[in-house]
Structure 1
Amino acid sequence: MSMSLPKALHEKVLKAIVERFDLVEDLAEDGGPFLPLNSHIPMHEGSVGYMRRFTGSPMFQVVTSSIVVPALQLDSHMVFAFTPSDSAVPHFTVDSVCAGEHHAFHLDLIPRMDLGSQLTYMNEVFLPLTESWERGSAIEGLSRAHLSPRQLGIMSPWMLANRATESAFVEIGSVVDDYLNHWFGLVENGISTEALNGLSASELIERDRRNKFAIFNADVDPVWQRIAPLVGNEAAEKQIETLRAVSA
């Protein structure tokens, strides 16, 4: 059986990150994934997926979440690569989903400084993505994902978050490559002193803590209100706790 398009994109991105930085997977005591996810709904018994966690320098952690429920026609995969909390290098994320006949994705580099007051940082870190963002936005077969203004406010203006036809989903793969390769360069080269603009490590850590609390928040992102009944409150809370973690 061939791999689904969302899972194939997810596996490609995860493999590239893990191999680039020689990361090590943190396994559960039984040798399985970091956090198994089991069904709490009557139309599906047993496993619906798992959260995986990888660590190693220069990352703080790379966290994935995969949930596949054929009874709900759901095939969802997320990877979130977190740089250290005292770094200004953005976090990288891509979600890839198939729900019934519809595909969707979310691609972004999460700002570590407030872009409205840090023009040099924005120019250095995000401006080079503009051509790829424009190309991705122009793909035929995309439509806007339903995100609230609050969700938009805690991500970057270069975020791509769309529903997609199958052909459009395939085409977005090259834009994901662009974002990932640009992010690799930022991780490996760092952020310039000019772009940091005197921001201290403690200020970066505290902003990272507040930003993660806002992003991984069931009040802000209603997807968590759907995940909890599916995998149980304990597993949903463990996922949020892991994603909110800071490295200092």
Structure 2
Amino acid sequence: MTSLPKALHDHVLNRIVDTFGMTEVTNENGGPFLPLESKLPMHEGSVGGMRKFTGGPLFQVLTSSIVVPAMQLDSHMIFAFMPSDSAVPHYTVDSVQAGGHHAFHLDLIPRVDIGSRLNYLNEVYQPLTEACEEARKIEGLEAAHLSPRQYAIMSPWMLANRATAEAFEQIMKPVDTYLDHWFGLVEKGISAEALEDVTPAELAARDKRNKFAIFNAEVDPVWQRIGPLVGQEDADKQIAYLREVSA
């Protein structure tokens, strides 16, 4: 039976790939372009992999799935990246089961300083307010333990929660609402009024700095746990791929 985190991951990934007609980049054996092998004595062999999809108006979609039954770990991450010089946010959703607990993270990652561009804030994020506030009222959710630095590099509309199984089943609605809104932003782009004086070069430079901050073992301690699980070399490779910027 497909787990709740895997079902959410597959639903979102299939919607993105189908909407934009994307193609998977595989390794020489036709599998994930970065297979992940266990380094733990309790589990031998594959624990998942990192997948890459390209095509359409996106730069790339990267996923990372790590499943270790011996640890009761079932983790799936999706990052849908726009080109570095685009003002359209990146879309991300994580879904996890660890032991008897579930967790998820959902956001549209800002591409500009939203504290200084009210028009961008209103156009890109304000439409998500109702869905965000309703999601936070779901019974069975508990705020995830994130540092102030982690909150600072994402958006205030981010949803990051631990959840009961019953609560986790209800998050599909906000996940799809955020995704539908993001599809609309990708299709129509960001208005000149919302961008004000920002240039493509500034967007690209910020994207590089922002990715360095987000995918950083000092900022996000999850990478300190992934290293021992799949080996530090493959953990570092994942970070490097996630930090990639478009030309």
TM-score normalised by length of structure 1: 0.99
Distance in 1, matches of 2:171 and 2:30, equals 34
Q: Root-mean-square deviation (CA), in Å?
A: 0.5
Overall identity of the aligned pairs, in %: 70
2:56 equivalent in structure 1: 57
- 1:85 alignment partner in structure 2: 84
C-alpha distance after superposition, 1:34-69 (max 9, x if no partner): 100000111100001100000012000000000000
| Amino acid aligned to 2:196 | N
The residue number in structure 1 matching 2:202 is 203
Equivalence for 1:14: 13
Q: Deviation digits for residues 165-203 of structure 1, max 9, x if unmatched?
A: 011000011110100000000000100001111211110
Aligned: 1:192 with 2:191: yes
Structure 1 counterpart of 2:66, one-letter code: I
Structure-1 residue corresponding to 2:137? 138
Aligned to 2:33: 34
SS of equivalent to 1:116: coil
Tell me which stretches of 4 or more aligned residues in structure 1 moved more than 2 Å. Answer: none
In the other structure, the counterpart of 1:226 is 225
Q: State the SS of the aligned residue for 1:117.
A: coil
CA displacement, residues 93-122 of structure 1 (integer Å, 9 cap, x when unaligned): 000000011000000000000111111001
After TM superposition, the structure 1 = structure 2 runs for residues 111-190 of structure 1, keeping only pairs within 5 Å, are: 111-190=110-189
Structure 2's unaligned 5+ residue stretches are none
Deviation at residue 31 of structure 1 after TM alignment:
1.5
CA distance in 1, matches of 2:19, 2:30: 24
Q: In the alignment, residue 155 of structure 1 is paired with which amino acid? A: M
* Whole-Å separation in 2 of the counterparts to 1:52 and 1:222: 22
